[in-house]
Amino acid sequence: MSGEATPFPQESAETLNAPGDAPAEVAAEQAPAAEAASDAPAPSADPEQRVRELEAELEALKAEHETVRSQYMRIAADFDNFRKRQSRDQDDMRVQIACSTLSEILPVVDNFERARQQLEPQAEEAQTIHRSYQGLYKQLVDVFKQLGVSPMRVEGEPFDPNLHEAVLREPSDEHVEDVVIAELQRGYHLNGRVLRHALVKVSMGPGPSGSEAAAPAESAPAEHEA
């Protein structure tokens, strides 16, 4: 019997894995948490100091906010001014194009008006033709009205160099000096702006009687040419 080997007691897997390895596993799990805690800023030991730090941070954020807000307001104002300036420039461009185009058509209107004033057709055929082109003239005038074109009324008005161009000056017993006494070529407005100045005859006031009265009227054209 002395030759038989005494068997060693077999330990179960539960006995090998249980209490002995537990501390190592717990330490491994707690290591990341400990590292994260060490990275966080340590709270100030003095509460009043912490309050002052937070107040300083708040003031810095307020200043930064005000700076950004001011920059935004300036950019918004600049953009609004740019938009308004662009709108004005576009309006001015449209008016300039309209003035240029309509100014080229005004001589046609002048010819229609001269024909209506000077021609007095007697024959039936001539009257028919006259009515035809007067109908065209009326259509043209209606289109001008729709576009904002309106004729000036100048006779009896004080002379205004912003509206009138004096072609002749002559004495007048009926009008004081610098009053328009006759319209030589009609002027026009376009939506309140001067499209074409009116060519006018202007009074010089009561002048000398007899043959001397004609002298200023005769010298007026030479004065205009100068």
Within this chain, do residues 138 and 86 fall inside the same structural domain, yes or no?
yes
> For the chain, what is the mean pLDDT?
78
Contact in structure between 159 and 187 (CB atoms under 8 Å): no
Which of residues 115, 147, 179 is at a domain's end?
A: 147
pTM: 0.56
Q: Which domain holds residue 192?
A: 149-225
CATH code for the domain of 92: 3.90.20
CA dihedral 118, 124, 129, 133 (to 10 degrees): 60
> 47-118 and 124-146 helices cross at what angle (nearest 10)?
170
**What CATH number does the domain containing 191 carry?**
2.30.22.10
How do residues 81-100 score in pLDDT, each as one tens digit? 999 999 999 988 988 999 99
Could you say which of 147, 165, 198 is where a domain stops? 147
43 confidence band (pLDDT: 50, 70, 90):
low
Q: Are residues 66 and 118 in the same domain?
A: yes
Could you tell me if residue 203 is inside a domain?
yes
Structural domain total, the chain = 2
Residue finishing a domain among 92, 112, 147: 147
Is residue 16 a part of any domain in this protein?
A: no
The answer to whether position 165 is within a domain reads yes
Residues 143 and 178 in one domain: no
CB-CB contact of 149 with 121 (8 Å):
no
Q: CB–CB of 209/187 below 8 Å? A: no
Backbone phi, psi, residue 20, to 5°: -65, -40
Q: What is the per-residue pLDDT for 47? A: 86
Percentage of the chain modeled with pLDDT above 70? 71
Q: Are residues 80 and 168 in the same domain?
A: no
Residue 117 lies in a domain: yes
pLDDT, one tens digit per residue, over 157-216 is: 999 999 999 999 999 888 899 999 999 999 999 998 999 999 999 999 886 654 444 333
Contact 163, 138 (CB under 8 A): no
Q: What is the mean pLDDT of residues 20-31?
A: 53
* Alpha carbon of residue 110 to chain centroid: 35
**Residue 72 within any structural domain of the chain:** yes
Residue 222: pLDDT band with limits 50, 70, 90: very low
